[in-house]
Chains A and B, each alone.
Chain A
Amino acid sequence: DAKTTQPNSMESNEEEPVHLPCNHSTISGTDYIHWYRQLPSQGPEYVIHGLTSNVNNRMASLAIAEDRKSSTLILHRATLRDAAVYYCSHTGTASKLTFGTGTRLQVTL
């Protein structure tokens, strides 16, 4: 299983950027880095994934360290709807995507 380390919780003010860090201590050369989030009372939701280069999509940006041992999920302007538990993972195949305990993001006015 992927071994990742994330802070238990983070806080942000609304409309400010948020940087959520993750350490990928067991990542191997062909593993992709994935981020999901789980809003209250919902299933996990895909956010973004990447291999080596930084990635952007409509939800977020993903910054990947050169050695790939860490990644950062960037929410450019946090909203109240972004309050969720954010999970990072890495896997060579999606057949066994595993989740750690994640970072609980609180967004305040």
Chain B
Amino acid sequence: EPEVTQTPSHQVTQMGQEVILRCVPISNHLYFYWYRQILGQKVEFLVSFYNNEISEKSEIFDDQFSVERPDGSNFTLKIRSTKLEDSAMYFCASSGSVYNSPLHFGNGTRLTVT
């Protein structure tokens, strides 16, 4: 069964550094998402992306965050200047269509900001 893959599985970075988290969605999917989960807390929506533009974003997704689909297969989340509070699991997801399509999640990238 096709799956969403995320790299790296664990990223350690220093405060103020830029990080790029990478995701390869399921190949025929059209909608892409990023979520995050701070340790011990709930899974939070960050952003959705379709047709090369952001469809919706949460208040967490401020100017420090950006997303891109640089080629036909990758979907990336960039954090320009990381803060300690950005430490979390970041999950990428994709779906075939918006309405009622299940989201398929990757197993996440654990970001640790020191």
- Evaluate contact between B56 and A49: CB separation under 8 angstroms: no
Chain B residues near A96 (CB, 8 Å)? Answer: 45, 48, 56
By the criterion CB–CB under 8 Å, are A99 and B99 in contact? no
Cβ distance A52 to chain B, nearest Cβ, rounded Å: 13
Q: Are A46 and B103 CB-contacts (below 8 A) given A95-B31, A99-B42, A100-B42?
A: yes
Segment at the interface with A among B14-22, B71-79, B104-112: B104-112
| A43 and B91 in contact, given A49-B100, A94-B99 (Cβ under 8 angstroms) | yes
A97 at the interface (CB under 8 A from B): yes
> Please, how many angstroms separate the alpha-carbon atoms of A60 and B25 in the complex?
25
Cβ of A38 under 8 Å from chain B: yes
Residues of chain A in range 69-98 having any CB-CB distance to chain B below 8 Å = 87, 92-98
Kindly list chain A residues whose C-beta atoms are within 8 Å of the C-beta of B55.
Answer: 95
User: What is the bound-complex CA distance between A45 and B50, given in angstroms?
Assistant: 21
Assess the B43–A38 pair: CB atoms within 8 A: yes
- Known A42-B107, A45-B105, A46-B103; contact A93-B43, beta-carbon cutoff 8 A: no
Interface size on B, residues (CB 8 A): 27
Q: Which of B43, B95, B98 contacts A44 (CB 8 A)?
A: B43
Q: Closest Cβ of chain A: how far from B96's Cβ, in Å? A: 10
Closest-CB distance, A9 to chain B (whole angstroms): 14
Interface check B101, CB cutoff 8 A: yes
A101 to B4, CA, bound (A): 24
Give the CA-CA distance A44 to B102 in the complex, in Å. 11
Q: Which 4 A-B pairs have the closest CB atoms?
A: A43-B105, A46-B102, A99-B43, A95-B48
20 A-B pairs with C-beta separation under 8 A: A32-B100, A36-B103, A38-B43, A42-B107, A42-B108, A43-B91, A43-B106, A44-B91, A44-B103, A49-B100, A49-B102, A51-B100, A94-B97, A94-B100, A94-B103, A95-B31, A98-B44, A99-B43, A99-B44, A100-B42
Interface residues of B (CB under 8 A from A): 4, 31, 33, 35, 42-45, 48, 50, 55-56, 91, 93, 95, 97-108
A residues within 8 Å of B by Cβ?
A: 32, 34, 36, 38, 41-46, 49, 51, 87, 92-102
